[in-house]
Structure 1
Amino acid sequence: EYLMDNGMSREEYHFFLHNRLKQHCILGNDYYWTNEHRVHADGHTEAAGETFGYSEITRQYHNRYRLPIMHTETNMREGATGQEAVQWLWKEWANVLRLRNVGIPTVGFTWYSLTDQVDWDTALREKNGNVNPLGLFDLNRNIRNVGKAYKQLIKDWRDVLPASSLCLAVPVVPPGQNCWPPRPEDTQQKGLAMPQQQAANAEGA
């Protein structure tokens, strides 16, 4: 009722009610050093670091939602040695490989972000001009150590992953099938066009 009171037609409501689009979804989840928290007896929490880790938490998500997954965000500050972020990158990549190796469909991995962030430490609530050294490149476009490691990761795995990964398509295409171009039956499934599109198609026929 809320949706229809605010502009959704009955036709649109029934379209979404009766069409299963789960097969077109990918579950993206982030993982940072601060994701896991310890809850104290008085109710306050603090970051617990990597207690269970990305692979275990994501395995639980996959068991619940049964969707392909993507590691959508992670990063670590380039610390005193310049290698802290590099070590974190390889650790997260190892977690992604572990998921793939146990059969959980995994379609992507991303370091966030390409460049350093400004005032990311306050979630942009304060305009302090603090540069957070989290990117693959600094703000002068100089590549950081983690950026070099990311390039090496791509170089090492580029010939392996296309042959053994799921195709990055929705619905997800298993290995052994052509990824591109998509088959007409995959992109024009009956009932997947919105009512307005169906009407337009009928008029053009």
Structure 2
Amino acid sequence: MEQHKDFIWAVGIEDTFVTQVEKGERPLDEYALTQHYELWKEDLELARESGARMIRYGIPWYKVEKKEGAYDWEWVDEVMEYFHNHTDLIPIIDLMHYGTPHWLKNEFSNGRYPECVAAYAAAFTKRYSHIVKYYTPLNEPYVNAEFCGLNGVWPPYHTGLQGFYHMIMQLGKGIIKTIKAIQSIDKDAVMVHVDATKKYFTYDEELQPEVDIWNENRFVMWELLSGRVNDGHPLYNLMLQYGLTIEQLKWFQEHHCSFDIVGINYYPQFSVHEVKRDKKGYIIYPHVLGTGEELKDIIREAVSRYNTPIMITETSFRGSEEERVDWLKESVEACFSIRKEGIELLGYTWFPFFDLVDWEYRTSGKSAEEELMPFGLYTLKMNDKGQMIRKENRAGRKFKELVKRTKLN
């Protein structure tokens, strides 16, 4: 493993914040549900003990800016001071992880969203640029647009491809304005552009055009941000067909950004889709279990498009401890294998560090404990005092072993 001494091991704490509710819904704040607001120091200590050099860490915008332009940094100050005092754990700050403040009516559809999120980013950077150098302007724009714009699950509850591309356009503008706001304060800030990745395939030759367009659409935000969606692009006419205008797409060509690091989020249970027809003849896109080979294919495709350093910014497996250990070994081996091809893969992030509360909590009516999902290196369990206990599991021990092995060799 000598060639992997420079490999960055990282973890991330699930930090979804979707707190606006309609009838029958509950706020989804993972920090609150997993008691991270109270146990943040313990959690960061455990992250350091794991051997991780970096941690993906989110800021709850809706709590920080409860009134527009008025920022409450009290809790964030404590966490940032910890990072300042423990430089062996470097934060990659998730400025946006799905949710907006309550005063921003219509959420991501609000025409002022791009300016508002950039103002928040500027306020954060002014306060913490002496501590923070790595930023994710917005986590997983594809999933954000999918849940808020395609499937209507989260506010502003839009549906269909028209809703999806409207969200992509709004989120993309927010990302570009966020980057400019941060760089106007700290020109050395590093942008880690994180998105969910997909791979589509089919056994039906007639459906290959459908596969091709979805394999292009999986890169839509990176393509848009880099100014590539012009009248010769495979997605150009589709985006116009579903509501975007020539002027909107031209804006991205004129205000495009470059990438410091492309962050790939890959989950074997969610990232690979077979395209086929159901019994009634409708095209469907069911998940199939992905492998390390599909992960390598996605990395190669991203490198060929953007010629930029890559980092695995999320991966894990929902299942037993044994299944998580198996995926940890398979996915890390895929990373080491791709590095031997000469690809600049910087590192690997197990996400989430400890179990998360299923997003279905918003509507299920079940308790947070009942909705715990077995993803983490640490297992969460509620004790009789109502405290969420963190207990290292076999996957956590294996992660430590792998980190130690690369450091020793």
TM over 0.5: yes
Distance across 2 between alignment mates of 1:124 and 1:109: 30
Aligned-pair CA distance for 1:37: 0.2
Cα contact 1:76–1:84 (8 A) shared by 2: yes
Q: 1:10-29: CA deviations, max 9, x gaps?
A: xx8xx99999963x610001
| % identical aligned pairs | 28
What code does the residue aligned with 1:39 have? Answer: V
Distance across 1 between alignment mates of 2:286 and 2:339: 31
How many positions carry a matched residue from both structures? 148
Distance across 2 between alignment mates of 1:126 and 1:151: 35
Cα contact 1:119–1:126 (8 A) shared by 2: no
Cα contact 1:137–1:143 (8 A) shared by 2: yes
Instruction: Tell me if 1:111 matches 2:347.
Output: no
Aligned-pair CA distance for 1:131: 0.8
Matching residue of 1:184: none
Cα contact 1:89–1:146 (8 A) shared by 2: yes
Q: Structure 1 or 2: larger strand share?
A: 2
For residue 158 of structure 1, give the secondary structure of its aligned residue in structure 2. Answer: helix
For residue 60 of structure 1, give the secondary structure of its aligned residue in structure 2. Answer: helix
What code does the residue aligned with 1:153 have? Answer: L
**Residue among 386, 396, 399 paired with 1:147:** 396
Distance across 2 between alignment mates of 1:48 and 1:135: 21
Instruction: Tell me if 1:156 matches 2:395.
Output: no
For residue 98 of structure 1, give the secondary structure of its aligned residue in structure 2. Answer: helix
What code does the residue aligned with 1:141 have? Answer: R
Aligned-pair CA distance for 1:78: 3.5
Aligned-pair CA distance for 1:98: 1.2
For residue 289 of structure 2, give the secondary structure of its aligned residue in structure 1. Answer: coil
For residue 286 of structure 2, give the secondary structure of its aligned residue in structure 1. Answer: strand
Aligned-pair CA distance for 1:86: 0.1
Distance across 2 between alignment mates of 1:45 and 1:19: 34
RMSD (Å), alpha carbons: 3.1
Cα contact 1:38–1:45 (8 A) shared by 2: yes
For residue 138 of structure 1, give the secondary structure of its aligned residue in structure 2. Answer: strand
Matching residue of 1:31: 266
Matching residue of 1:83: 322
Aligned-pair CA distance for 1:159: 3.6
Instruction: Tell me if 1:137 matches 2:378.
Output: yes
Cα contact 1:37–1:45 (8 A) shared by 2: yes
For residue 346 of structure 2, give the secondary structure of its aligned residue in structure 1. Answer: strand
Matching residue of 1:100: 339
Cα contact 1:77–1:132 (8 A) shared by 2: yes
Q: 1:151 to 1:138 in 2, by over 3 A?
A: same
Matching residue of 1:48: 288
Cα contact 1:38–1:47 (8 A) shared by 2: yes
Distance across 2 between alignment mates of 1:125 and 1:63: 41
Distance across 2 between alignment mates of 1:110 and 1:119: 20
Distance across 2 between alignment mates of 1:50 and 1:90: 14
What code does the residue aligned with 1:100 have? Answer: R
Q: 1:11-66: CA deviations, max 9, x gaps?
A: x8xx99999963x6100011112201011132111112126521111111110111
Q: 1:63 to 1:125 in 2, by over 3 A?
A: farther
Q: Structure 1 or 2: larger helix share?
A: 2
What code does the residue aligned with 1:115 have? Answer: F
Distance across 1 between alignment mates of 2:264 and 2:402: 21
Q: 1:62 to 1:126 in 2, by over 3 A?
A: farther
Distance across 1 between alignment mates of 2:316 and 2:354: 11
Q: 1:123 to 1:62 in 2, by over 3 A?
A: farther
Cα contact 1:26–1:69 (8 A) shared by 2: yes
Distance across 2 between alignment mates of 1:147 and 1:138: 9
